[in-house]
Amino acid sequence: MNPEQLAGASFFDQPAVKRGVIEVGGGVPFGLLPVLNSELGIGGVYGTWGERYANSDLQPWVEDRLGLPISESEKLDLAELGFLSRHHIRRLTADQNMQVELELGGRFLREAARACGWDPAEVDGVLIGMTAPISDDYVDEISRLAGIPDRALKVTVHKACDSSVSGLHLALNPALVENLALRRNIAETLKGKKVLVGGIEGLSRLLLDAKDKNALQLFGNAAGVIGVIPGKTMKFLAGASRAVFDEDGVLQVHMFYPYSERADSAAPSVDVTQADETHIRIAGKMHEPADGSSIIMAGPMGMVKLFVRSGVQVVQEAYRAYQQKLEQLGATGKSLAVAIVHHANYKINKLKEKQLQGLGIKLPMPWLLSEFGNVSAASNMIAFLRELPLLKPGDHILMDGFGAGTYYDTLAVEVGA
């Protein structure tokens, strides 16, 4: 689907969206949309919060954050990149930001569980990806607010835009290098249990001290959380993961989370920490801005160069492993129903698609987002939930995540109880 064909209506005005206001700082509007495919036994919720800024009225918000005007030459063609609007909150105090993000996080987890027909007290695992967590214990706090028991395993993943797919990979693949580095293998622990996986991204807060004009135009707030039962409603087939440190700093991001580079880390840039039996942190090393700001990024073509080459290689590796798995299963006639790719921008996805086709890999890669902007780790889960009603039991899908650092997780899964 071309960007010109994408709907430009506000997410809040779409059918079935549950709307509300958090009474903080003059009121923060939010919207949540539950989704369930009862045939598959998979559900979840996605949504956003803050005021909507269409492309045409984004400039004053950007200039307010910068404290100076931007020229015509500095404005991105956002529609060409696949984005028609995004949501931001006003400037809030640290305490107000905490209140908003805790309440929203608890709501997303609770609504995701309910969309699956689960009581939150039945949930055994929560894996949430975040680029810039507001606190070290955020996942524990929102789980408690959602009514998820203390015994549930909580996993926090910080690998920028790759974080939610990395979390799903951790929940499904016991042979993943990070799982092998833990005394409690996440996938083995959660097999056959009720698990919530997602990305919650309050990127307005990340951009509070940003001076990067591209980042201020591209990013927005959103979250997506899905409920799966590993090995039952979603089965791991094959996958690939890679960490390639961004030495040149093409996309620099401040690490808002604890990180200790250790010789025994699972990968050169990944810090795996298990604080106790119910708390695990997967933290990716970032090339941080030297000026102390939150994010500095190259232009759109810089992002293409950063993500496409390695991204294509990782997808190719995962696809080959998937083909080998089909041979083992005696199902060589099977094909992938759809590929759910991180929505960094439309041009990146189209170029990846073109290069993969040149390698003989043809994947249906629908563009499913337009009204959220680049929402980092939330995008894969939102895109999956939008495609979810069309999936059938036994369908194979490809989940493709990639993000600053740089980090890549691609996995093929089978859906359906």
pTM tops 0.75, yes or no: yes
Domain map of the chain by residue range? 3-415
What is the per-residue pLDDT across 196-233, written as a single tens digit (0 to 9) for each? 999 999 999 999 889 999 999 999 999 999 999 999 99
Q: pLDDT-derived band of residue 298, with 50, 70 and 90 as boundaries?
A: confident
Q: What is the pLDDT of residue 118?
A: 98
pLDDT digits (tens, 9 = 90+) for 340-397: 999 999 999 999 999 999 999 999 999 999 999 999 999 999 999 999 999 999 999 9
Q: How confident is the model at residue 6 (pLDDT cuts 50, 70, 90)?
A: very low
Residue 4 has pLDDT above 50, yes or no: no
Alpha helices, DSSP H, located in 81-155 = 94-115, 138-146
Q: DSSP per residue over 93-111, as a string? A: -HHHHHHHHHHHHHHHHHH
Give phi and psi for 400, each to the nearest 5: -125, 110
Cβ-contact 108, 101 below 8 angstroms: no
User: 17-31: per-residue pLDDT in tens?
Assistant: 999 999 999 999 999
Q: What is the pLDDT of residue 8?
A: 57
Are the beta carbons of 152 and 126 closer than 8 angstroms? yes
Give pLDDT, residue 301. Answer: 79
**Res 5: pLDDT:** 38
Q: Which CATH class is domain 3-415?
A: alpha beta
Q: Is the pLDDT of residue 46 over 50?
A: yes
Query: Rounded CA gap, 399 and 13, in Å?
Result: 28
58: Cα separation from own chain's centroid: 23
pLDDT band, residue 300 (cuts 50/70/90): confident
pLDDT-based confidence at 417, cuts 50/70/90? Answer: low
